[in-house]
């Protein structure tokens, strides 16, 4: 799609800029970000595009091609839109840029994306980051990529009302091509972690669930269950409260603990009996072990040990399914089908859960077989045809 031409069709003139911001897939480290922990996402080659031009007044006119709808609001009176809720992400970004003391120009904008909505690939963060960067390009104000990500997170937390962590906006703003991004969600320090290039498949697996063996390269493959996440908002916030309750209890025995990220696996095992409520104990166990899995996974990638990384992905899924209880039947079917395919190092659900996507690490020579076998197994079990994407790690937000 030529978004410049669509802008001309809608507004009758050329856009001043076109900005893209990517979605993301998290390789490992789920529900750790709001616990001050570690995550390892990649920005993917599926994005939200914004074509925009400034106006002479303080009006914002948005046309969303994906919805076939337009909306208009004033920068002097930014309120929620209950009818066109898709526009609240852009409204929230504008609200907090203005609150920061930045006087924004009005604008005309066309927005379109190929990040599936509700799939767990963070289309919302891509919308926020693309919009914030569009205003930065048009108005020329100074804002670092980290500051931009934090502002977009605040828009989603406080304006949209989704209490997400920083990961999604951060990697959409700061992702690097052919690298994952290790993010310390407390300090916001980050390190690019090179991904192995796609190479020939390694030797056949001895055990699919345990991994393949070998140190060959692999591709990241995302499979969309097509199940949208109806329970997400309430359950996500419930999980946060359960983690916070675990911290309050653990602080009685470990006074230095400020978040679950401060608790080692050994400390948790020693203190877990003090977490009397089973669900609280389970939530804490997942987060604490998941943080350790992220750090082990980074070491494995840097050593070219994809077998170990795949095992950690598999362990992560089991933990999300059993301890954090954010999987669902469709995700479990998809992951378990992936585990049975030759050429798969590891597979897990990705994103907040209750639907959306899985992510698998697949030897390049096995990709087509993987896609065919996974699609067939999933359709046979559910009657649903999945969408399967081979993803490349891409750069963060940019002006085209």
Strand partners, 53: 108
Please answer whether residues 201 and 363 qualify as being in contact, where contact means their C-beta atoms are separated by less than 8 angstroms.
yes
Identify the three-state secondary structure at position 106. coil
- How far apart are alpha carbons 323 and 286 in whole angstroms? 6
- How far apart are alpha carbons 352 and 168 in whole angstroms? 11
| Radius of gyration, CA atoms only, the chain | 21
Q: Quick one: DSSP state of residue 103? A: -
What does the CA dihedral 318, 321, 326, 329 come to, rounded to 10 degrees? 120
Identify the three-state secondary structure at position 206. coil
Q: From the candidates 33, 36, 168, 307, give the one annotated as an active-site residue.
A: 168
Closest CA to 389 of 369, 363, 366, 359: 359
Closest CA to 2 of 390, 10, 344: 10
- How far apart are alpha carbons 98 and 150 in whole angstroms? 15
Category of 313 on φ-ψ map: left (φ > 0), alpha (ψ -120 to 50) or beta: alpha
Tally of residues, the chain: 400
**Is 168 considered catalytic here?**
yes
What does the CA dihedral 347, 351, 354, 359 come to, rounded to 10 degrees? -20
Strand partners, 24: 43
- Catalytic residue numbers, as ranges: 168
């Amino acid at each position: 799609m030529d978004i410049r031409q669509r802008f001309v069709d809608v507004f009758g003139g050329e856009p001043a800029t076109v900005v893209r911001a990517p979605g993301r897939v998290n390789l490992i480290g789920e529900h750790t970000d709001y616990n001050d922990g570690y995550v390892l996402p990649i920005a993917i080659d599926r994005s939200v595009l914004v074509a925009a031009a400034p106006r002479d007044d303080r009006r914002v006119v948005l046309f969303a091609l994906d919805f076939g709808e337009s909306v208009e609001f004033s920068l002097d009176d930014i309120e929620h839109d209950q009818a066109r809720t898709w526009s609240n992400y852009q409204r929230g970004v504008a609200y907090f840029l203005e609150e920061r003391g930045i006087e924004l120009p009005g604008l005309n904008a066309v927005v379109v994306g190929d990040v599936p909505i509700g799939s767990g690939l963070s289309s919302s963060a891509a919308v926020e980051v693309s919009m914030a960067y569009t205003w930065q390009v048009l108005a020329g104000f100074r804002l670092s990529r980290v500051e931009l990500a934090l502002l977009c997170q605040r828009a989603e937390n406080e304006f949209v009302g989704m209490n997400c962590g920083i990961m999604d906006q951060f990697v959409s703003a700061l992702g690097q091509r052919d690298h994952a991004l290790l993010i310390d969600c407390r300090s916001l320090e980050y390190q690019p972690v090179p991904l192995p290039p796609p190479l020939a498949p390694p030797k056949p697996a001895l055990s699919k669930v345990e991994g393949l063996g070998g140190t060959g390269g692999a591709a990241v493959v995302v499979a969309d269950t097509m199940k949208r996440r109806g329970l997400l908002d309430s359950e996500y916030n419930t999980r946060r409260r359960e983690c916070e309750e675990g911290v309050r209890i653990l602080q009685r025995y470990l006074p230095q603990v400020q978040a679950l990220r401060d608790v080692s696996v050994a400390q948790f095992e020693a203190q877990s009996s003090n977490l009397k409520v089973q669900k609280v104990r389970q939530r804490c166990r997942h987060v604490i072990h998941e943080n350790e899995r992220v750090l082990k996974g980074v070491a494995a990638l840097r050593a070219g040990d994809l077998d170990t990384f795949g095992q950690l992905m598999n362990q992560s899924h089991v933990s999300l399914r059993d301890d954090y209880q954010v999987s669902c039947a469709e995700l479990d079917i998809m992951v378990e089908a992936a585990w049975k395919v030759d050429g798969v190092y590891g597979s897990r659900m990705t994103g907040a859960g209750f639907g959306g996507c899985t992510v698998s690490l697949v030897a390049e020579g096995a990709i087509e077989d993987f896609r065919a076998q996974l699609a067939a197994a999933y359709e046979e079990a559910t009657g649903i045809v999945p969408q399967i994407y081979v993803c490349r790690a891409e750069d963060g937000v940019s002006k085209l």
